[in-house]
A and B are shown apart, each in its own frame.
Chain A
Amino acid sequence: MATSRAILVDVTKCIGCRSCEQACKQIHGFPMASEMKLSPTALTVVEERGDRFVRRMCMHCQDPACASACLVGALKKTAGGPVTYDAAKCIGCRYCLVACPFSVPRYEWTKLVPYVKKCDLCAARQAQGQPPACVEACPVQASISGTREEMLEGAQRRILNDSKYVKHIYGSEEAGGTSVFFISDVAFEKLGFAAAPKQPLPLLTASALGDGPTVILVGGSVLAGLYWITQRRAQVALAEAREKSAKKRS
């Protein structure tokens, strides 16, 4: 995954101009009116937290909970970085919304044929070597994009060289690591960032799923064994009864 792409957002640089929101809406053909929260027509929003501006969008986890949850495999982590959504497969179970540790995916509740909506890191643009629309639109380079390694190194350099930064890259270990990173001069929990578990969430269900074959093998053998004992007992009882009645007759 050397070519995996990522975004780095520097909260200290964001001026709250909402150019990223607008660029995102434009490229998706959504209505241009600004929205306060993520919605099916706002895949990224700039939220005001005190005197800071914080962008929200899909974090594009390295091992995404949504992709492990999706029963038909509509959500996938691609080698290039983006977590993509195949609407043609989706059955609308909404388990991805339940599973996401960052509460990002949105559902088209108002529609009769509703789909899940979330940022796809402009996978199509990136495939052509272009940066995501939001990054391209940012006038102050608060959001930048590049390979995941570059972004992590860049973030590391900034927080080490400047004492104003909180000494943590949000996204470096959240949910086992993501492809969108945030650095900030205000504690992340004060900016409304979710305190996501540090391990990849699919690990939590993998152990339960791993038990499946064991349950079938062990459970099946035990049940079959019990059935055999039951049968054997019945046979023995029958034979004994026959013997008794035979003795009586003789």
Chain B
Amino acid sequence: MTTLETTAAGKTTKGFPKISFWRTVVALIFAAGLYAMYARFALGFQASTNLTDSQPWGLWVGLGTLCGVGLSAGGFAIAASVYLLGFERYRPILRTSVLISFLGYCTVCIGMMYELGIPWRIWHPIVMWNRHSVLFEVSWCVILYTTVLMLEFSPALVEKIPWVRARDLYLRWHHSILIALVLAGTLLSSMHQSFLGGLYLITKGHLDPLWYSPYLTTMFYLSAIPAGLSVTIMAIYLCVRSLNARVDLTILSDVSRVIAPLLAIYGVFRAVDLISRDATQYLWMWREETLLFWLEIALLVIAPLVLLNLEKVRNTPLYLYWTSAVIVMGFMTNRLNVSITGLQASSGIYYEPKWTEFAATLATIAAAVVAFRYAVIYLDILPKNPSQRVLALSAPAKA
């Protein structure tokens, strides 16, 4: 009966899985993703992407890596808050946020296999060093932080091992290194987020002045934390709504009270930067870059700040969910603007991703979402309510 109880939303696991709307969507995404995988690895870049010498980095870098890493920033923020700063308030959502970060980094690593021209040489940066390269630092941050996340998350898996001795030994060892892990993770993640912005410092003269700034590193860092926290809010809300998790939703309100000032700081930083670089002239030009810039600012800064200023939004989980969705959309617009929109004019060609580029990235994200769902169902990520179905079944039996 335990499997029955732990299954999502009281659905029984017996028999053929029911065909639901979301299952159909995920199945379609996986089917498209499988073709994209075939196209990329059996046919090559030209068959699977619209990348060219003028646009050598496209959707896989912009969406897969920049957004993937950025939206995984919740894990280190919550872990540092709980373990280093002692905000016990957030402990109930700690495992969820670490799980999201871990899965996020997994999608980034899988995405790397698509991006690299020669993916089986992915280990080269470990032995071939160029310390003048931002990408070299980025690659080391990915390797080390993914390891840290795996270790941080590991107890959730290990505690399910039936061998008591081995389990306790591991958990005790884990406990002894935990603070060191969290500390290393916070530093590595912070550096990783910043260095992703640092990658574009070398595009001076190519990247549009609306985005090129010597402070790209700081901007990437400042925007990643509120965006990562927003993903955590969305995930927790969905777990409560459809996976029967039992969480005090006022925690989400408290997270949103942290997000608002972070976004405000980010907004002010962007404004001061634009003014100090004398780039305000580009704010009112009638061109695609400027429109997308304003879309980014509206979604990432203005709309969320207005919404989070309303008491009703802060205290209603559903509204918080949608506000977080707006922040995530704004964040993604920003990363795609830096990596694609802002480089379009200087490249002289118009890049539109091929459908297989979307399919590959979406399938990887979908796989992470499915993995997240089953982790929440089968592992102790969040406390769960006894399922409605089981209650309904057991009630008449008692009567």
Which A residues fall within an 8 A CB radius of B?
A: 38, 65, 67-74, 89-95, 97-99, 101, 103, 105-107, 109-115, 194-197, 201-202, 204-209, 211-212, 215-216, 219-220, 223-224, 226-227, 230, 233-234
Contact = CB atoms under 8 A, between A and B. Distances in A.
A97 B84 contact: no
B44 A223 contact: no
B54 A223 contact: no
B200 to A, nearest CB: 8
Interface residues of B, number: 55
A230 B199 contact: no
Contacts of B214: 204, 207
A72 B124 contact: yes
Interface stretch (B132-140, B167-175, B239-247, B311-319): B132-140
A112 B39 CA distance: 11
Contacts, number: 163
Interface of B: 43-46, 51-54, 56-57, 80, 83-86, 115-119, 121-122, 124-125, 128-139, 179, 183, 186-187, 190-191, 194-195, 198-199, 201-206, 214, 217, 347
B57 A202 contact: no
30 contacts: A65-B202, A71-B125, A71-B135, A90-B121, A91-B117, A91-B119, A91-B121, A92-B116, A92-B117, A93-B135, A94-B56, A95-B199, A98-B57, A103-B53, A103-B347, A105-B53, A112-B43, A115-B117, A194-B205, A202-B132, A202-B202, A204-B201, A204-B202, A206-B132, A212-B137, A219-B186, A223-B84, A223-B183, A223-B186, A227-B179
Given A205-B132, A205-B201, A111 B191 contact: no
B52 A70 contact: no
B130 A71 contact: yes
A205 B134 contact: yes
Contact of A98 (B43, B115, B202): B202
B264 to A, nearest CB: 23
Contacts of B124: 72, 89, 91
B278 to A, nearest CB: 16
A201 B117 contact: no
A73 B202 contact: no
Contacts of B84: 223, 226-227, 230
A71 B128 CA distance: 8
A110 B132 contact: no
Given A114-B118, A204-B204, A212-B137, A107 B187 contact: no
Nearest to A204: B201
A71 B130 CA distance: 5
A94 B194 CA distance: 20
Given A68-B202, A109-B52, A95 B135 contact: yes
Contacts of A204: 201-202, 204, 214
Contacts of B204: 101, 197, 201, 204
A63 B214 CA distance: 19
Nearest to A201: B202
